Structure 1
Amino acid sequence: MSKDTRLRFQTRRLGAAGLVLTAALPCYAWGADISVTSAYLSPEVYWYPQNGASIQDHGNAALAGSAELFTYLPRNWSLKATPYGRVDFVDDNRHRVDFKELDFEYFHNSHIVNIGLRHVSWSTVEAVNVLPLQVADVINQRDIAGDPAGQDKLGAPSMRYAYQAESMQYEVYALPWFRERTLPSREARENPTRGQLEFDEDDALFTDDRDNHRLGYALRVEKVTGEVNLAAFHYDGYRQDPLFVPGAEPGHLRPLYYKVRTTGFTVQGTAGSWLYKGEFAYNNTEESNSRYALPTDFFAAVTGAEYTFIRPEEQADLSVFAEYIYDSRGDGALGTPFDQDLFVGVRWASNDYNDSTLIVGAIADLNHSAAVYHLNFKRRLTPNIAMKLTLRGYDPDDSDPLYPLRDDPLINASFTYYFD
């Protein structure tokens, strides 16, 4: 482990310790009774069978663990804390000591106040469980170094006020601190430059002089009826997925975060065995004095449908789904590899004691001869042990942005032990 990496890891550890003390002191002062609602320890392995660049490893192995703590506090307050740690035995960029959530909540009648780190999901589509799409999921940053598929989220520092009416919910978020994306190391197989360039994630650029301390905000209104869930939202802050510009040293890239105003809506509705869903957002790029090119205003959407075959109770469910992914930025340097794609798949759920779930899908690029294949299987082996297996493969042509990943099919396996 390099000196800089050790320093970064120690800084994160000290920061997490500070958060623990911040949470623990009021609980101690009030004599709160803290309960552990869940806890787990999980060894995991990422394995790439084919050879990559000479500098790249075949994979990594890590040990991760987390616990969920909860306590009631005086005057209608409560605290939920979810400390999380991961130690990787190969890739230093995957070390992490953090909180998934550290959330003080006040609840009175229909009024809710939250202060701290939170996980927030406004997405309705299946594709967000495979790709780091952030059409409607605009609050949390993604831990790409920890999970290349982008499913692991970093807790978002926020202050939230919500009002819950009979069929409506109103939310206001103040976002005082923007969290930067964690990125793969030069040796990581999911590094899109095949080990040629290093990401300087600790030397990020921002289009605002206040850097990541610029205050952002978000608004959301949700309407729930018997068959339709409709929500509108607005976000003002940094775009979560950065651009990359040349770093201070040759062979290095610096993340560049730019400000956007994102306005959109999500919809989810049922009609018999059909489930319709979609999320749509218009992103207005805020003007800045940045000397680097920024995306112009762009529109992004994911929309689709899912059909579930009716089965007798306690038998396995089988669903098929299709979703269309669109992003007007295109797939150039300022865009995304998933600008016009079709995601189709099948989901099978056992609905029994083992709670087995299998999802098999493919993402086809409609502009190139390219595809991404995905398989995810989960099963509970014993009351305390669950396993997860993920397979992913790429089949791009030489004009597709994912072409550098052509030799990087992935096998990811983890076994999680849940403590009683």
Structure 2
Amino acid sequence: MKNTSSLGWFFTIQRAMVLAVFLIISRTVVGQSEEVYTEFLGNFSFEYRYFMQDGLYPGQKDHFPAISIQPEYYVEWQGGKYILNFTGFGRVDFTDADRNHLDIRELYFQKVSSNWEFSVGLKKIYWGVTEAVHLVDIINQTDNLETFDGEQKLGQLMAHYSYLSNFGTFDLFAMTWFRKRSFPGVNGRLRTPEPIRTNELTFESEMKESRPDLAIRWSHYFGPVDIGLSHFYGTGREPIVSIGNDGSLIGVYPVIHQTGLDLQATTGPILWKFESIIRRSDIQNMKAMDVGIEYTFGNIGGSGIDLGLLAEYLYDDRGDIALNSLQSDVFLGGRLAFNDVQSTEFLFGTILDINRSTRLISLEGNRRFGDSFKASVEMRLFQNVSDEEFIYLFRQDDFLKFELGWYF
């Protein structure tokens, strides 16, 4: 078996080589064109996470200062017919060294025609309409080191063809170079009793990371209704895990078929939302859904503030073994948009377990300062967590996170 650090250096060198090739192509091909638009931007951020209770497990800390950088480089020529796009990311955590990581979020070349697009390289693709969980979003691996809610994703190497017709948009994906999830270390929080090591998670397929994945999606609209229907065949992004008697985690990435459906209907101030998946594998089958509604009160009292109220029902037939612990739950929340020049926004909510006492409370907010700075806040609380749920392992990991970003 390869040493973990050696494997990490291998992928780092591989990413650097890919980036160098793309930059050479950029300078060579773009240099031959008279109509070129380029843009370089990004952000540098300081983050501080504070965990309000002592950790359950030896070695866990409470204070986590960290810094991150996300550079972006964009080039288009011949009126946007050809595009090169790069987004990188790097994180240094001064408490949990296992959270330090580098990633190429996106690095791809794209050819755009009147009714089709083709791109090749590392990309991020997002599917889904619901708020509490994104069931149909299957293309990219979750960046587990960045967020608890799975919103951040790793770049995925792919060839992507998109065709626009009168019958909707058809997207075809061919992918390889599977990305395993990474997890906090001994000092980290939101971890299992024994820290999960990335190389300890195995594959069902003998081809491991190199096994190809295929996906197709059709999306269209009918009046106020937007619809998406997708199918994925390949190595599942979520490992199937079990906890041993000693607290260690045993996990495998299965080969899966996943069919997903997402719907959103707009009727005045009301958004009706629905996501559902059926997943099949030789190891574990599952069905899950998220159905909800969002009602927006616009310009409350002439203040210019919009308030959206959200309610969703979540079901996962895996029950207690589901990593997200959303086997039969209700999400209630709200979204405040101040519609000011500082783009001040807040999202708050709670997930209530219908059958047990478990409650998850969340708050997210952000506000710009001037032209170059943005402040963000996030809070997660785990209350009355049932010992029958996977997140019982995180029951003392309530935290506050503050972030200040400089955008250049």
TM-score norm. by structure 1 comes to 0.89
In structure 2, what is the Cα distance between the partners aligned to 1:252 and 1:11?
27
Deviations 1:141-169 (A, max 9, x none): 00112223322100111111111124611
Q: Do residues 18 (structure 1) and 5 (structure 2) align? A: no
Q: Do residues 200 (structure 1) and 197 (structure 2) align? A: yes
Shift of residue 30, structure 1, vs aligned partner: 2.1
Indicate how the Cα distance of structure 1 residues 383 and 300 shifts in structure 2: closer, same or farther if over 3 A, else same: same
The equivalent residue for 2:225 is 228
Indicate how the Cα distance of structure 1 residues 206 and 54 shifts in structure 2: closer, same or farther if over 3 A, else same: closer
Kept in 1, the 8 Å contact 2:145–2:183? The answer is: yes
3-state SS in 2 of match to 1:407:
coil
The equivalent residue for 2:277 is 281
Q: Do residues 57 (structure 1) and 61 (structure 2) align? A: yes
In structure 2, what is the Cα distance between the partners aligned to 1:6 and 1:259?
26
Shift of residue 348, structure 1, vs aligned partner: 0.4
Q: Do residues 183 (structure 1) and 183 (structure 2) align? A: yes
Deviations 1:82-140 (A, max 9, x none): 12111111112221222111121111110110111111111101113xxxx4x100101
1:89 alignment partner, one of 81, 89, 94: 94
Shift of residue 55, structure 1, vs aligned partner: 1.2
The equivalent residue for 2:256 is 260
Q: Which amino acid aligns with 1:411?
A: L
The equivalent residue for 2:392 is 403
2:103 alignment partner, one of 98, 118, 133: 98
In structure 2, what is the Cα distance between the partners aligned to 1:326 and 1:72?
44
Indicate how the Cα distance of structure 1 residues 36 and 9 shifts in structure 2: closer, same or farther if over 3 A, else same: farther
Alignment of 1:143-154 (within 5 A): 143-154=143-154
In structure 2, what is the Cα distance between the partners aligned to 1:6 and 1:208?
23
The equivalent residue for 2:27 is 28
In structure 2, what is the Cα distance between the partners aligned to 1:9 and 1:91?
17
Kept in 2, the 8 Å contact 1:27–1:73? The answer is: no
Kept in 2, the 8 Å contact 1:12–1:98? The answer is: no
The equivalent residue for 2:351 is 363
2:373 alignment partner, one of 385, 393, 396: 385
In structure 2, what is the Cα distance between the partners aligned to 1:69 and 1:325?
39
Shift of residue 14, structure 1, vs aligned partner: 2.3
1:344 alignment partner, one of 325, 332, 340: 332
In structure 2, what is the Cα distance between the partners aligned to 1:299 and 1:245?
19
Kept in 1, the 8 Å contact 2:323–2:391? The answer is: no
In structure 1, what is the Cα distance between the partners aligned to 2:14 and 2:375?
31
Deviations 1:229-257 (A, max 9, x none): 0111101012211123689xx87545310
The equivalent residue for 2:75 is 71
The equivalent residue for 1:270 is 266
In structure 2, what is the Cα distance between the partners aligned to 1:405 and 1:104?
41
The equivalent residue for 1:46 is 49
Shift of residue 34, structure 1, vs aligned partner: 7.0
Kept in 1, the 8 Å contact 2:95–2:187? The answer is: no
Kindly report the root-mean-square deviation, in angstroms, between the aligned alpha carbons of the 2 structures: 2.2
In structure 2, what is the Cα distance between the partners aligned to 1:408 and 1:310?
36
Q: Do residues 113 (structure 1) and 112 (structure 2) align? A: no
Deviations 1:181-213 (A, max 9, x none): 1222232110032xxx12120243111111121
In structure 2, what is the Cα distance between the partners aligned to 1:244 and 1:233?
25
Q: Which amino acid aligns with 2:230?
A: F
Q: Which amino acid aligns with 1:190?
A: L
Kept in 2, the 8 Å contact 1:168–1:224? The answer is: yes
Deviations 1:27-70 (A, max 9, x none): 12224467234211011111102111331011322111112211
In structure 2, what is the Cα distance between the partners aligned to 1:179 and 1:6?
15
In structure 2, what is the Cα distance between the partners aligned to 1:373 and 1:180?
28
Shift of residue 9, structure 1, vs aligned partner: 5.5
Q: Which amino acid aligns with 1:24?
A: L
Shift of residue 224, structure 1, vs aligned partner: 1.9
Kept in 2, the 8 Å contact 1:34–1:69? The answer is: no
Shift of residue 81, structure 1, vs aligned partner: 0.6
In structure 1, what is the Cα distance between the partners aligned to 2:243 and 2:314?
30
Q: Which amino acid aligns with 1:207?
A: E
The equivalent residue for 1:373 is 361
In structure 1, what is the Cα distance between the partners aligned to 2:335 and 2:111?
38
Query: What count of residue pairs does the alignment treat as equivalent?
Result: 397
Indicate how the Cα distance of structure 1 residues 311 and 106 shifts in structure 2: closer, same or farther if over 3 A, else same: same
Q: Do residues 415 (structure 1) and 404 (structure 2) align? A: yes
In structure 2, what is the Cα distance between the partners aligned to 1:9 and 1:260?
26
Deviations 1:294-345 (A, max 9, x none): 32x211111100000132788110010101111111113x664111111110
Indicate how the Cα distance of structure 1 residues 346 and 375 shifts in structure 2: closer, same or farther if over 3 A, else same: same
3-state SS in 1 of match to 2:393:
helix
Q: Which amino acid aligns with 2:63?
A: G
| Unpaired runs of at least 5, structure 2 | none
TM-score norm. by structure 2 comes to 0.91
